[in-house]
Amino acid sequence: MTTWIIVGLIVVIALIAVSMYNGLINLKNRVDEAWSDIDVQLKRRHDLIPNLVETVKGYAAHESVTLENVIKARNEAMTAQGGGNPEAIEKAENALSSTLKSIFALSENYPDLKANQNFLELQRELTDTEDKIMASRRFYNGNVRDFNTKLQAFPTNMFGKMLGFSVRIFFEATESEKAPIEVKF
């Protein structure tokens, strides 16, 4: 009788451990999938930027510093993406977003560029990509929240670290992006 109780307890504990492990694996895979979605959109953005820069070059040749900064930021973002470190990728991508704003500001100074069909199409594509990146970041952060909550909740927190799971980092805005926007007329 005692043997059956001990065997029953071992089976119940094993089933709980398997359930926790499978739950963590499921959430880990969802976080990885969400990161992959961000990665796809960032690649799309990186592919669009050279076309945008080439279009602007034809109209604003003496704005080479702005264009060089955009290309430099793009290259740094691609390098960071190759490294796979989410914090470095986030920092490089946020810097790239800042430099892209300067290209769109240039269009205000060049009416012909502003009316150029290629520029307008590239601008629409880039805006669409930026929207998709934001949606992918929200999806990623939601999955990170679910994973971290499961990993930190009892009783999973007792076994999660032993099984090799660790808390994931949220994709957050930089301090410069959090600052209030200054509007001047």
- The predicted-structure confidence for 118-144, as pLDDT tens digits, reads as follows 777 878 888 888 889 899 999 999 999
Q: Which two tokens stand for residue 156?
A: 């999973």
Residue with tokens 């499961």: 150
Say what angle helices 2-59 and 86-109 make with each other, to 10 degrees: 30
Percent share of the chain, pLDDT over 70: 85
Q: Which two tokens stand for residue 172?
A: 């957050």
Q: Does some domain include residue 143?
A: yes
10-18 LR contacts (CB < 8 Å, sep 24+): 16/155, 17/159
Pinpoint the alpha helices (H) of 60-85. Answer: 64-83
Q: Does some domain include residue 4?
A: no
Question: d(Cα 74, Cα 8) in Å, to the nearest integer?
Answer: 59
Q: Does some domain include residue 139?
A: yes
Instruction: State the total domains in the chain.
Output: 1
CATH number at residue 144: 1.20.1440.20
Mean pLDDT estimate for the chain: 82
Its pTM stands at 0.70
The pLDDT of 56-85, averaged and rounded, is 77
Q: Does some domain include residue 15?
A: no
SS3 132: helix
What residues make up the domain containing 70? Answer: 41-178
Residue with tokens 């999660």: 160
Q: Does some domain include residue 14?
A: no
Q: Does some domain include residue 146?
A: yes
Can you say how many angstroms the Cα of residue 45 is from the centroid of all Cα atoms in its chain?
Answer: 12
Q: Does some domain include residue 51?
A: yes
In 3D space, the residue among 157, 119, 176 whose CA is nearest the CA of residue 23 turns out to be 157
- 179 vs 88 pLDDT, higher one: 88
